[in-house]
Chains A and B, each alone.
Chain A
């Protein structure tokens, strides 16, 4: 059974870098044609896709017109030795306060397996 678990600091100061890790069990981050994604949810708000890393290492990030700076601040990477993938987001502001989820797709751009979520608060 595929399981994902987010880890990282729950508090990050404004302008600093947010770094989260997703540890995967029951599957390998390099096996199969899967997308490993990060999704966030601001308190009381809806879901926002941040980006993914494909099993091959290729990435795609949200370049939404609603958040033009998001793509330039985000990096998602794989650590195959630890069977993990990570999110790095620079220059955070209070608007980045959210529950961050890692997820794996079923077969394409959908999300079947999710971590439990990690609340990250951006505050001084």
Chain B
């Protein structure tokens, strides 16, 4: 199985901050990396696919980068609605696996 490791597991930030979340794969997954946002009691929402492509309707303050084993999700100018938990997922091959999540909290 491909293990996905996210860091940090949680962070505190203020509105307007730039936030960076990292995700590391246990082996090369090229650009087969997805980012999701999940709010309490809700299903995850797809933000970024193929490591850096923004899903339609997702604000441009979200961006993704990386390839191979190291990936980054960046939120430029954190907004109140961005406080949530973020997950990465490898879509390289099955079993599909997720990172442990990063909870973004209000400072």
Which residues of A line the B interface, CB within 8 A? 46-49, 60, 62-66, 101, 103, 106-112, 114-117
Contacts of B43 in A (CB 8 A): 101, 103, 114-117
A56 smallest CB distance to B (angstroms): 16
Q: Does B66 contact A (CB under 8 A)?
A: no
B87–A47 CB distance below 8 A: yes
**Which chain A residue shows the least CB distance to B91?**
A109
12 contacts between A and B (CB under 8 A): A46-B87, A47-B89, A49-B94, A60-B94, A62-B94, A103-B43, A107-B49, A109-B93, A110-B46, A110-B49, A112-B46, A116-B43
Q: Which of B10-18, B20-28, B68-76, B95-103 contacts A (4 or more CB under 8 A)?
A: B95-103
Q: Does B1 contact A (CB under 8 A)?
A: yes
Which residues of B line the A interface, CB within 8 A? 1, 32, 34, 36, 42-46, 49, 55, 87, 89, 91-101
Cα of A46 to Cα of B92 in the assembled complex, Å: 19
B98–A65 CB distance below 8 A: no
**Which chain A residue shows the least CB distance to B90?**
A109
